[in-house]
Chain A
Amino acid sequence: MVGIFGIPFIKSKKEKEFELIYRQYYPVVYRQLYYLLASNSSAEDIAQEVFIKLYNSKSSIEHPGAWLSRVAANTALNYIRSEGSRQQRADSIIDDFEAIMSAEDEVCKNEQIQDVRRILAQLPASQRTCLLLKFSGYSYDDISSVTGIPKSSVGQMILRGKKKFMELYSKEGDIYEVL
């Protein structure tokens, strides 16, 4: 609420809709970006950028969750590519995730985070994508619509991804024993 002389500025219908989507999905988009980039400041910057793109999008958006996850992945990918090399955009979100997770990340020094990323990198691409989207907070509908994986198979992808993750984690070492 911003006001002059006590009269609050009134939000337009577009702004109200935008606010609803923003409040619902901000943490979801943020988590997705953090899982991809392992950096709070990048996640914050890109989440902001994604919502600005949403506000300024010309076409009407029917499934905001799917739209946001796709644009977030794509924006994150452009972000980690050097300025000069903004080549072709990958067609599928699974390719985007793959490209981001396999990129060199020297930014993150935390060993625990490095371990987790190594494990994620070993999961099959579609399992990894479903798993990370699910933990971000997207619905099966959103995940299905953005990955092209049938909704009936999304649960299976998540389940397999989880099992594989746990397997690799206990192989990888001692941290699991802490539990």
Chain B
Amino acid sequence: MKCYEDLVLQQVLDGSYDGDLQEVMAHIELCPICKRNFEQMKRDEDFISGAISEGMQIPPANFEHTLMLSKYQSKNDKGARIMNSTYRKLAAGAAGLAIVGGLFAFEPVRAMAQDLLKVFRVENVETISISESDIYQIDRAFSEGRGSIDMQDFGKVDVVSKDEGVTSESISSLEDVKGLLANAKLPELSEGFKADSQAYMHPEMDIRFELDSAKINEFLEYLGEEALLPDTVSHKPFYVHTEEGVSYSILKESGGRMSIAQTKAPSLEIPSDIDEKALIKSMLSMKLIPEDLRKQLSAIDNLATTIPVVYNKDKETMEKMTVAGEKAVVISAKDGSYTNMSFKKDGYLLFISAFDGVTKQELVDIANTME
């Protein structure tokens, strides 16, 4: 059998050979010349790939964040260059404080802010898990209903920031963070760690939801649900209000990063004529909620005052531990690419993430020094 040209071997390497791959591979196995040639090409391939990738660190893909920015961008000034990567992470983080971040089971501290609104404030940190099959089941419930569903049909979500947005400040040491937020909890840095030179102030922010219960109910009926939303919720504003916060990064000199964000607990405001317990009950009885989620949610006493956010138990592990004397929740990616920790201390919520080479143990050790 004739030997193959380098071009064919290259196409094989690139997965772009249109002929009979098995035949080529069988020949390479048997023919010492082609085999040596092929091995050499593979070594060159690895060498070049390594050389041009020197210093490259691909961050974990953050789809939710990109989607959020994309939607934001689609509604706003298209020409504007969006901020740098750190800023964007933090801006997303700020919204995340309110919506994502861990599961907050709160003890309701109900303050009647105004006559119109009931206010609930996040008090404790807890978690709930979701599996890939749960996600699939929910997705399927919807796609079997009407194919493509756009949340925009069901209501409106707006984010209102009272100031111009997140601002960045230069800092020369961690102590400077206290100049931004007087009650900032600062860690003590051990050997090999240093503060990044920028810190960020996050403004207060209101996330406003308005539901169209008629449209939602129409859809629920279509899905065969019996539990419907009460008409009273329709077109009334729900707010998630986040407080001022600060965030900054700690760099590991041998490579890696931690980001620390601190804010007062966000609060949820709903119209006062809504019976939140009845609302929750009707939502929980919907069939599209997978059974194991329903069980977990039902087990939480004060679900009425909870914004539950889930972690993916197929891709992440969750553990509870005591950090700096407080109960903390730690969610780690199973592939080891990141660890997120949340806990509450002296009325503040703290979110610490470690990635790019900072280990969970290092994160825990540093968090333990935060007083």
A interface list, Cβ under 8 A from B: 1-15, 18-19, 22-23, 26-27, 30-31, 34-35, 38, 40-41, 43-45, 48-49, 51-52, 55-56, 110, 112-113, 116, 120, 131-132, 134-135, 139-140, 154-156, 158-159, 162, 165-166, 169, 175-176, 179
Cβ-defined partner of A155 (8 Å) among B16, B45, B135, B306: B16
Q: Are B142 and A18 in contact (CB under 8 A)?
A: no
Q: Are B66 and A22 in contact (CB under 8 A)?
A: yes
Q: Are B55 and A38 in contact (CB under 8 A)?
A: yes
Please indicate the chain B residues that have their CB under 8 angstroms from the CB of A56 in the complex.
70, 73-74, 78
Q: Are B59 and A44 in contact (CB under 8 A)?
A: yes
B interface list, Cβ under 8 A from A: 6-7, 10-11, 14, 16, 41, 43-45, 47-49, 51-59, 61, 63-64, 66-67, 69-71, 73-74, 78, 81-82, 84-85, 88, 99-100, 128, 130, 135, 138-139, 142, 147-151, 209, 238, 279-280, 283-284, 286, 289, 293, 297, 303, 306-310, 312
Query: Of all chain A residues, which has the CB nearest B40?
Result: A166
Q: Given A1-B135, A12-B149, A112-B54, do A6 and B293 touch, yes or no (CB 8 Å)?
A: yes
- List the 7 closest A-B pairs by CB distance, nearest first: A13-B148, A55-B70, A26-B61, A140-B16, A44-B85, A159-B10, A6-B297
Please indicate the chain A residues that have their CB under 8 angstroms from the CB of B148 in the complex.
12-14
Query: Of all chain B residues, which has the CB nearest A140?
Result: B16
Give the interface SS of chain A, mostly helix, strand, loop or mixed.
helix
Query: Closest approach, in angstroms, between the C-beta of B226 and any C-beta of chain A?
Result: 16
Q: What are 23 residue pairs bridging A and B, where the CB atoms are less than 8 Å apart in the complex?
A: A1-B130, A1-B310, A2-B309, A5-B279, A6-B128, A9-B151, A10-B139, A23-B63, A31-B56, A35-B52, A40-B56, A45-B84, A51-B70, A52-B70, A55-B67, A110-B54, A113-B55, A120-B52, A155-B10, A155-B16, A159-B7, A162-B48, A166-B48
